[in-house]
């Protein structure tokens, strides 16, 4: 049973004539007759009495309300899809990591709202793994996250790298590590740390980095907001390994200190671990430890104008041009 057959059936039923139905549909009478005959063959019943006036049979009367509902449902669906392609969607949902939400997204949100004032923009701050999961489940349209190839390598995913940024050490201004311009790894691994909660990409990244050098991560507290990180670290000996963009607000706080991580050399205290099994003295850890921040959606969503517009705004504005040298260095 095809839609055009039901539409031909309805046209004949409404006009009472195959000829008038053909005029209404803009096709030949033979086309209308062929569509109705095909429908009759499929349902196994005659639908019209072939007289001067095409009158519905008992089978036609039974089919009529169903045909109307089916055709109306199709018209509704076609209208909704047309609105979607025209950018008339009720909302656009975005999931982004905390640092991007705080530091880089506000200009994007303002520009988008001016371009699409009728679209309700909903932004949720989530950890990278959770954000990619809800994107994959269809609960959000776009994610701005730390890359996790376990989620982003699926063929339906569209991924663009926005920037790479260094991982730095956040500590109290009075902390012993504040004496260093660049904190050596042998010193870094000695102090208890505050980490993101399970499900956040940064927790996994820190754990993997410690695992590479055979060191034990002494994580004593899990948090999920940058304000909480700053508040806890400010109090004493706890430190936190965080990405550059997450520390922008902390730079002006005199009670806090931010330090880079030193590149290890072959004569360092942990060189036996860092270089063991690696050719030509190559370190087991990246001497410029960074995280990759990506913009993610699915290929089908890029056909929707508001989503494509938001994507392009993020590409244009994140990160801001005045910090591109910092986060891409």
Identify the DSSP state of 174: T
State the pairing for strand pair 290-298/142-146: antiparallel
Residue 148's pLDDT is what? 86
| Kind and range of the H or E run holding 258 | strand 256-261
Q: Estimate the crossing angle of helix 29-43 against helix 3-15, to 10 degrees.
A: 110
Q: Would 91-163+291-328 and 166-287 be classified into the same CATH topology?
A: yes
pLDDT for 75 beyond 80 = yes
pLDDT for 285 beyond 60 = no
Task: Name the pTM for this structure.
Answer: 0.74
Domain boundaries, the chain: 3-85, 91-163+291-328, 166-287
Residues 160/293, Cβ–Cβ less than 8 Å: no
According to DSSP, the residues that pair with 243 across neighbouring strands are 167
Per-residue pLDDT tens over the stretch 163-180: 999 999 999 999 999 999
Q: Where are the alpha helices (DSSP H) in the chain?
A: 3-15, 18-25, 29-43, 58-85, 98-103, 105-115, 128-136, 149-152, 185-188, 201-212, 226-233, 271-274, 305-317, 324-328
pLDDT for 277 beyond 50 = no
Q: Which CATH class is domain 91-163+291-328?
A: alpha beta
| Kind and range of the H or E run holding 120 | strand 120-125
How many Å apart are CA 216 and CA 286, to the nearest integer? 18
According to DSSP, the residues that pair with 133 across neighbouring strands are none
Per-residue pLDDT tens over the stretch 209-233: 999 888 999 999 999 899 999 999 9
Residues 22/28, Cβ–Cβ less than 8 Å: yes
- Mean pLDDT throughout 1-8? 90
Maximum C-alpha span of the chain: 103
Length of the chain: 329
Nearest to 244 by CA among 96, 94, 102, 95: 102
Per-residue pLDDT tens over the stretch 33-68: 999 999 999 999 999 998 878 999 999 999 999 999
pLDDT for 264 beyond 90 = no
Other C-beta atoms closer than 10 Å to the C-beta of 90 total 8
pLDDT for 321 beyond 80 = no
SS3 content of the chain, % helix, strand, coil (to 5): 50, 20, 30
Fold of the domain spanning 3-85? Arc Repressor Mutant, subunit A (1.10.10)
Q: Is the peptide bond prior to 319 cis by the omega test (within 30 degrees of 0)? A: yes
CATH superfamily of 166-287: Periplasmic binding protein-like II (3.40.190.10)
| Kind and range of the H or E run holding 222 | strand 219-223
């Amino acid at each position: 049973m095809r839609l055009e057959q039901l539409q031909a059936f309805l046209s004949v039923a409404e006009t009472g004539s195959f000829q008038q139905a053909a005029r209404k549909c803009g096709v030949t009478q033979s086309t209308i007759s062929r569509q109705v005959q095909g429908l009759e063959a499929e349902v196994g019943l005659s639908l019209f009495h072939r007289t001067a006036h095409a009158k519905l049979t008992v089978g036609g009367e039974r089919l009529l309300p169903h045909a109307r509902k089916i055709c109306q449902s199709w018209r509704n669906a076609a209208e909704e899809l047309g609105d979607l392609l025209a950018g008339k969607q009720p909302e656009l949902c975005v999931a982004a990591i905390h640092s991007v939400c705080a530091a880089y997204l506000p200009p994007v949100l303002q520009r988008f709202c001016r371009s699409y004032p009728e679209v309700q923009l909903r932004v949720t701050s989530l950890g990278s793994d959770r954000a990619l999961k809800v994107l994959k489940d269809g609960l959000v349209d776009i994610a701005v996250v730390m890359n996790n190839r376990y989620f982003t390598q699926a063929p339906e995913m569209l991924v663009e790298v926005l920037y790479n940024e260094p991982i730095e050490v956040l500590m109290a201004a009075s902390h012993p590590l504040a004496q260093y311009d660049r904190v050596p790894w042998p010193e870094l691994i000695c102090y208890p740390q505050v980490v993101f909660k399970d499900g956040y990409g940064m927790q996994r990244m820190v754990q993997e980095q410690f695992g590479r050098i055979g060191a034990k991560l002494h994580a004593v507290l899990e948090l999920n907001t940058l304000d909480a990180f700053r508040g806890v670290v400010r109090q004493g000996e706890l430190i936190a390994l965080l990405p550059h963009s997450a520390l922008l607000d902390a730079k002006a706080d005199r009670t806090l200190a931010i330090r880079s991580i030193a590149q290890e050399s072959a004569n360092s205290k942990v060189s036996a671990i860092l270089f063991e099994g690696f050719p030509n003295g190559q370190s087991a850890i990246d001497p410029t430890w960074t995280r990759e921040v990506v913009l993610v959606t699915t290929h089908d969503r890029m056909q929707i104008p508001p989503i494509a517009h938001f994507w392009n705004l993020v590409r244009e504005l994140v990160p801001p041009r005045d910090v591109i040298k910092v986060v891409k260095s």
